[in-house]
Amino acid sequence: MTKDMTKGNPMKLILSFAVPLLFGFYFQQFYNLVDSIIVGRFLGTQDLAAVGATGSVNFLIIGFCMGICNGFAIPVAHKFGAGDYSGMRRYVANCAWLGIGFSVVMTLVTTLACRQILEWMRTPANIIDGSYRYILVIFIGIPFTFLYNIVSGVIRALGDSKTPVFFLVMSSFINIGLDLFFIVNLKTGVVGAAWATVIAQALSGVGCLLFMIKKYEILHIRGEEWMPDGHKMSVLCGMGVPMGLQYSITAIGSVILQSATNTLGSDAVASVTAAGRISGFLACPFDAMGSTMATYGGQNVGAGKLERLGQGLKSCVLLGAGYSVIALMVALFAGAPLATLFVSASETTIIGNVRMFLIFNTVFYFPLALVNIIRFLIQGMGFPTFAILAGVFEMLARTLAGLVLVPLFGFTGVCMGNPIAWIFADAFLIPAYIHVRKVLQRRLEAGV
């Protein structure tokens, strides 16, 4: 069930690995779409805005958790690529110990601070209570976020992109069913939507773990391999924490931009919520490409096959360019009809805002493709610090949009935030890749 990405045609390997991931991301975004549709249609625009107002702080915290887990998987991929299976299992064991520690600390800190964060973000008074109730439950579920993402990251590091997708799809269907049950039947409001997410995440994490234990003999940790190892924990944190910080630093800019959006009123917040859900769905191929390149880069660096890095990068960039054109066509011709999934046709201001947001974003989807492909490839190559620096560039761009463009141009300024962030990140990532490739080549020649 594993896949060696150090041999064979890079384009075929990337496609075969990315396609299952893509379906998983689609189902995850499909759930996000349906969740917002259910909230918007059954609870109203105000509750839709309440959920949407938590989006940036949700990304700030949950993105940090996911980034850490993705980083933990890189040393596992390196050891798998090098054929050191005992060393690989030791890293997996230390992933588990670190995951327990991080999840406990993160849960305590975020549940205590989330109300204050929402107030600092100037969340509109008519939605802040709903936003607080929603995000509090999401943060209570952080341990399950760690469980699923650590297990799925380890499995992907071995070249299996299908198994995590299966459990992600299962989670999405459970999530939708629980959304309807809690919101429509039990009338629990936005809190029901949050509990549906947490319960579905828990079931997918436990299911993925049990499957891994049963099916992956290569991951059966033996005796002393379970012992906590300070050096390995340091390596894992050296990969995971920078990747987590990259998500969080990027999200700081999103928080500032969200704060500026909040000053425009709940209609603007609802517009960004609906547009963000659609945009997230359209951007799924770039997420799949990024995750693929992290594993591809990790395995090939572990095997010392640096010449394959450029080959894989070229193949993935071609895929990203082709899809960017398709996404733009969807935004141009289907943006307004898609907006009516979330609000009634009478909400003309929100529908117009959604279409404008989608067009602004998809015009710049090729820069987004480069951000995902190059950043994750660099991370897989073992240089996570560069991910932080790329995140800093994104943060600065979104901060500029929030502090300058939104006050000047209103909702148009909101629409400009993401494209500027992607361009800023690419301006750093492209030369960064050239640099780290040369560093690896020198290390290989020196036998380090």
Structure tokens at 120: 């600092």
**Confidence (pLDDT) at 242:** 81
| Spatial contact of 204 and 150, defined as CB atoms under 8 Å apart | no
Structure tokens at 307: 């010449």
Structure tokens at 67: 């980034």
Residue with tokens 């997420």: 287
Mean pLDDT computed over 160-167: 83
Mean pLDDT computed over 281-299: 90
Predicted confidence band of residue 448 (pLDDT cuts 50, 70, 90): low
**Confidence (pLDDT) at 178:** 92
> What is the SS3 string spanning the chain?
CCCCCCCCCHHHHHHHHHHHHHHHHHHHHHHHHHHHHHHHHHHCHHHHHHHHCCHHHHHHHHHHHHHHHHHHHHHHHHHHHHCCHHHHHHHHHHHHHHHHHHHHHHHHHHHHHHHHHHHHCCCCCCCHHHHHHHHHHHHHCHHHHHHHHHHHHHHHHCCCCHHHHHHHHHHHHHHHHHHHHHHHHCCCCHHHHHHHHHHHHHHHHHHHHHHHHHHCHHHCCCHHHHCCCHHHHHHHHHHHHHHHHHHHHHHHHHHHHHHHHHCCCHHHHHHHHHHHHHHHHHCHHHHHHHHHHHHHHHHHHHCCCCHHHHHHHHHHHHHHHHHHHHHHHHHHHHHHHHHCCCCCCCCHHHHHHHHHHHHHHHHCHHHHHHHHHHHHHHHHCCCCHHHHHHHHHHHHHHHHHHHHHHHHHCHHHHHHHHHHHHHHHHHHHHHHHHHHHHHHHHHHHHCC
Over 90: is that where the pLDDT of 77 sits? no
Over 90: is that where the pLDDT of 233 sits? yes
**Confidence (pLDDT) at 323:** 95
**Confidence (pLDDT) at 2:** 63
**Confidence (pLDDT) at 46:** 82
**Confidence (pLDDT) at 277:** 82
Range with top average pLDDT, 3-17, 35-49, 366-380:
366-380
**Confidence (pLDDT) at 1:** 55
Report CA 111 to chain centroid distance, whole Å.
21
Of the candidates 64, 50, 52, the residue with the CA atom closest to the CA atom of residue 107? 64
pLDDT higher at 445 or 92: 92
**Confidence (pLDDT) at 368:** 95
| Spatial contact of 437 and 306, defined as CB atoms under 8 Å apart | yes
Predicted confidence band of residue 420 (pLDDT cuts 50, 70, 90): very high
List Cβ neighbours of 83 (8 Å cut-off, separation of 6 or more).
Answer: none
Mean pLDDT computed over 190-207: 91
Mean pLDDT computed over 43-65: 81
Q: What pTM was computed for the model?
A: 0.72
**Confidence (pLDDT) at 316:** 95
List Cβ neighbours of 443 (8 Å cut-off, separation of 6 or more).
Answer: none
**Confidence (pLDDT) at 258:** 83
Over 60: is that where the pLDDT of 394 sits? yes
Residue with tokens 């709940």: 266
Average of per-residue pLDDT values in the chain: 88
Over 70: is that where the pLDDT of 44 sits? yes
Q: What gap in Å lies between CA 118 and CA 255, rounded to an integer?
A: 10
Instruction: Write out pLDDT tens, residues 98-156.
Output: 999 999 999 999 999 888 888 887 888 888 888 899 999 999 999 999 999 999 989 88
pLDDT higher at 307 or 48: 307
| Spatial contact of 429 and 414, defined as CB atoms under 8 Å apart | no
**Confidence (pLDDT) at 426:** 95
